[in-house]
Amino acid sequence: MVRCPVCGDVIGTYEPVCVIRAGSARRSSLAREPALGSGEAAIMHFACWLELGVSRGEDDGASTAEAQSGSEIR
């Protein structure tokens, strides 16, 4: 069971997650990459990641569109 460090809820297998590793972020899921829960990367609900960016005033719309398409998030 993997928990989101932002909200504390369990991350479901098919829920979109933000994977943060070595200063870069990307979108994935535990269904796509089951080893994420035990790896070196930090993961959180994608929605929580979006809320963090918005609450810090960092969401310019471009990163959200790129992330939703599955590319690396800048």
In this prediction, residue 56 carries a pLDDT of 66
- How is the chain split into domains, by residue range? 17-73
pLDDT exceeds cutoff 90 at 57: no
> Is residue 60 over pLDDT 60?
no
Phi then psi for residue 42, to 5 deg, are: -85, 135
Give the pLDDT score at 69: 47
Q: How confident is the model at residue 65 (pLDDT cuts 50, 70, 90)?
A: very low
Whether this model's pTM surpasses 0.85: no
Higher pLDDT, 58 or 22: 22
Q: What order do you get walking across the sheet with 42-45 strand by strand?
A: 42-45, 17-21, 24-28, 72-73
As a whole number, the mean pLDDT across the chain is 81
Q: Which residues pair with 17 in a beta bridge?
A: 28, 45
